[in-house]
Structure 1
């Protein structure tokens, strides 16, 4: 994958995270704050816990830090998969965001 292809796919992922936050906030009382700074999105929950998602351009990876740990994802041609087999990005984000918020949340591409 070229740097340009990585950035295109990674930008789509970050936009999907932001759109999911907007949808969640419009349809529930979750109140997930989404702040973007360049290649990083920080999700802050009402209990002040956070999930940080950032791009690692030289490695062509997306990293996510949550209470449950740190995860690295690579694009496999159709999905962002954890490099150590922990699963697909949006499934993991859904799991961790639901756990940290105490509410059932759904993130999707």
Structure 2
């Protein structure tokens, strides 16, 4: 994948994450604030003050996630973002991480 293809895909992915979080927050009655600065998406859970940072790393062609439980790297495999140290998919992981920090179950739809 070229760098420009990666950047376009990463931009689309960050936008999809924002939309998925908005939908999940509405369904779970959570107050989640998303803010973007370039290739960085900051997810803040307003009630707890917890934050999760998602950003694209063009040189590595990865999406990185930083949460209370640690840092995670996701690489594109078969049209999905997969954890480089395991097999968890990005949207499933973000649902789990947001749920852990919010104290509820969240499922994110990547579409």
Interval containing the TM-score (normalised by the shorter chain): over 0.9
Mapping for residues 3-18 of structure 1, pairs under 5 Å: 3-18=3-18
Unpaired segments of 5 or more residues in structure 1?
none
Question: What TM-score, normalized to structure 2?
Answer: 0.91
Unpaired segments of 5 or more residues in structure 2?
none
Greater shift after overlay, 54-63 or 4-13? 4-13
Structure 1 runs of 4+ with >2 Å offset = 24-28
Q: Secondary structure at the match of 2:54?
A: strand
Question: 1:27 corresponds to which residue?
Answer: 27
Distance in 2 between residues matched to 1:25 and 1:101, nearest whole Å: 10
Distance in 2 between residues matched to 1:88 and 1:25, nearest whole Å: 20
Question: What TM-score, normalized to structure 1?
Answer: 0.92
Q: Is the 8 A contact 1:30 1:103 kept in 2?
A: no
Distance in 2 between residues matched to 1:27 and 1:72, nearest whole Å: 28
Mapping for residues 1-109 of structure 1, pairs under 5 Å: 1-45=1-45, 46-109=47-110
Distance in 2 between residues matched to 1:15 and 1:35, nearest whole Å: 11
- How many pairs were matched up? 109
Distance in 2 between residues matched to 1:59 and 1:23, nearest whole Å: 30
